[in-house]
Amino acid sequence: MYDVIIIGGGPAGLNAAMLLGRSRRKVIVFDGGKPRNRWARRMNGFLTSDGAKPGEFIQKGREELVKYGVELKDLEVASATYSKGQFVVNDADGTVYHSRKLLLATGLKDILPEVEGLEAFYGKTVHHCPYCDGWESQDKAIAVYGKDRSGIGQALAMKNWSADVTLFTDGTDELQRNDLELLEANEVKVEKEKILRLEGEDGNLQHIVLQGGEKRAQQAMFFSEGTKQQSDLGEMLGCEFTSAGVIITRRLQQSNIPGLYVAGDAARDVQMVVVAAAEGAKAGVAINMELQQEDRKKVN
Ligand SMILES: Cc1cc2nc3c(=O)[nH]c(=O)nc-3n(C[C@H](O)[C@H](O)[C@H](O)COP(=O)(O)OP(=O)(O)OC[C@H]3O[C@@H](n4cnc5c(N)ncnc54)[C@H](O)[C@@H]3O)c2cc1C
């Protein structure tokens, strides 16, 4: 019986493991090895680790856990249930584990625009988060991808980083007169023609090729097509979700299921590494306090 099983070994899961390991808890972390930012060259916006390589950051975190006796298992969890005050977890090899508390830190995955060639640039010069990659794209020719009216907000926001912003609606024509006036007033260009493919070299975007064959010189692209949970364990356990598909948690990452906590991108908040790590720390403290309460001897 583990005190805590943590599912997900990204920044949220690892930081929770650190706090729990340091609290002398018996902890195991399962990780499927697919952190959300694995496509990215660099990880920005984390004080002291700004510009770190994502894989090296995770590896350093894992090494820091060794001295606290945290077990790390590089394996997917296939199922998790809650019954009679304990969690039962099945790993992908069919081995069964039991714990008093469970932390889901399983993250999200991004829905990518369906544009030929995009994956080669994703995390290098095609991004979804201006706070992660806006600085590196400053003063470049920035394309914003958004069908219908979905890219308006992001196109206006990107003016913060560059004067040269174009909204590509990829063959859709839903922009209204007010939208066009607003975009024009803020000097955002609009391209409605369907995109054929992206072109460039070594992850560096150079052109957006339109269906008619015309090429638009662009050096970066931003999009916001939404996200999905990376695992269905939250649903399996009966968690409550927002309409955007993230798990609803209380102040210290508690879910609606007793003893089940959720931290990082899978839960509702700003989706960045530093926030995920902080939520992991909050969950670690809250879980340890709950265990302390349960184990404390009572006097009349
Ligand atoms: C291209 C890109 C670039 C980014 N750049 C930045 C940046 O510069 N700065 C920044 O702060 N943020 C950045 N982010 C956001 C950042 O990646 C996330 O906020 C952060 O990774 C969230 O951490 P997490 O621990 O919640 O989840 P993740 O890091 O996604 O980790 C979740 C882990 O859980 C594992 N897992 C899932 N399901 C299971 C299962 N069933 N069993 C076992 N393991 C499982 C996964 O394999 C994964 O390793 C970027 C995101 C993307 C997509």
Where in the chain are the domains?
2-110+227-295, 118-223
Pocket of ligand 1 contains residue 37 by CB under 6 Å = yes
CA neighbor of 239 nearest in space, from 103, 111, 90? 103
* Superfamily of structural domain 2-110+227-295: FAD/NAD(P)-binding domain (3.50.50.60)
Q: Looking at the chain, how many residues does it have?
A: 300
CA neighbor of 255 nearest in space, from 273, 242, 274, 272? 242
Per the prediction, the chain carries an average pLDDT of 97
Pocket test for ligand 1, best of 6, 18, 37 (most atoms within 8 A of CB): 37
**pTM for this model (two decimals):** 0.96
Phi, psi for residue 91 in degrees, rounded to 5: -85, 175
Cβ atoms of residues 41 and 104 within 8 Å: no
Tens digit of each residue's pLDDT (9 = 90 or more) over 282-298: 999 999 999 999 999 99
First to last CA, the chain: 30
Tens digit of each residue's pLDDT (9 = 90 or more) over 147-178: 999 999 999 999 999 999 999 999 999 999 99
Ligand 1: atom nearest CA of 108 is: 30
Confidence of residue 300 (pLDDT cuts 50, 70, 90): confident
Q: What is the pLDDT of residue 196?
A: 98
Tens digit of each residue's pLDDT (9 = 90 or more) over 249-271: 999 999 999 999 999 999 988 89
Tens digit of each residue's pLDDT (9 = 90 or more) over 64-108: 999 999 999 999 999 999 988 899 999 999 999 999 999 999 999
Best CATH choice for the domain 118-223 from the list 3.30.930.10, 2.60.20.30, 3.50.50.60, 3.50.90.10? 3.50.50.60
- Same CATH fold assignment for domains 2-110+227-295 and 118-223: yes
